[in-house]
Structure 1
Amino acid sequence: QAGGQRILVVEDNADACEVLRMLLDIEGHQVDVAADGHAGLALALAGNYDAIVCDIGLPGIDGYELIARLREGSAGAAPLAVALSGYGHASDRERAIAAGFDRYLVKPVGPAALLEALGARQ
Structure 2
Amino acid sequence: MNTENLKTTAKAPGYRILVVDDNQDSATTLTMLLKLKGNEVHTRYGGRTGLEAAENLHPQVVILDIGMPGMDGYETCRHIRQQPWGKDTVIVALTGYGREEDKRKTQEAGFDGHLIKPVDLASLTQLLDTLFSRERTD
| Alignment TM-score, normalising by the size of structure 2 | 0.83
Aligned to 1:80: 90
Q: Deviations over 1:34-73 (max 9, x none)?
A: 0000000111122121101110011220000000011012
Runs of 4+ in 1 over 2 A off after TM superposition: 74-78
The residue identity in structure 1 corresponding to 2:54 is A
1:10/1:53 contact within 8 Å kept: yes
1:111 equivalent to 2:111? Answer: no
Task: Map 1:9-88 onto structure 2 (within 5 A).
Answer: 9-75=19-85, 77-88=87-98
The residue identity in structure 2 corresponding to 1:119 is D
1:45/1:74 contact within 8 Å kept: no
Q: Deviations over 1:95-116 (max 9, x none)?
A: 0011010000011111111111
2:80/2:86 contact within 8 Å kept: no
SS in structure 1 of the partner of residue 22 of structure 2: coil
Aligned to 1:101: 111
- Seq. identity, %: 40
Q: Measure how far apart 1:2 and its partner are.
A: 4.8
Question: What is the number of equivalent residue pairs in this alignment?
Answer: 122
Provide the rounded CA distance (Å) in 1 between the counterparts of 2:61 and 2:75: 17
Provide the rounded CA distance (Å) in 2 between the counterparts of 1:75 and 1:23: 26
Q: What's the Cα RMSD here?
A: 1.4
SS in structure 2 of the partner of residue 120 of structure 1: helix
Question: Which has the larger Rg?
Answer: 2
**Unmatched tracts of structure 2, length 5 or more:** 1-10
Provide the rounded CA distance (Å) in 2 between the counterparts of 1:76 and 1:33: 17
Answer 1 or 2: higher relative contact order, Cα 8 Å, separation at least 6.
Answer: 1
Provide the rounded CA distance (Å) in 2 between the counterparts of 1:26 and 1:107: 20
Provide the rounded CA distance (Å) in 1 between the counterparts of 2:26 and 2:56: 24
Provide the rounded CA distance (Å) in 1 between the counterparts of 2:86 and 2:52: 17
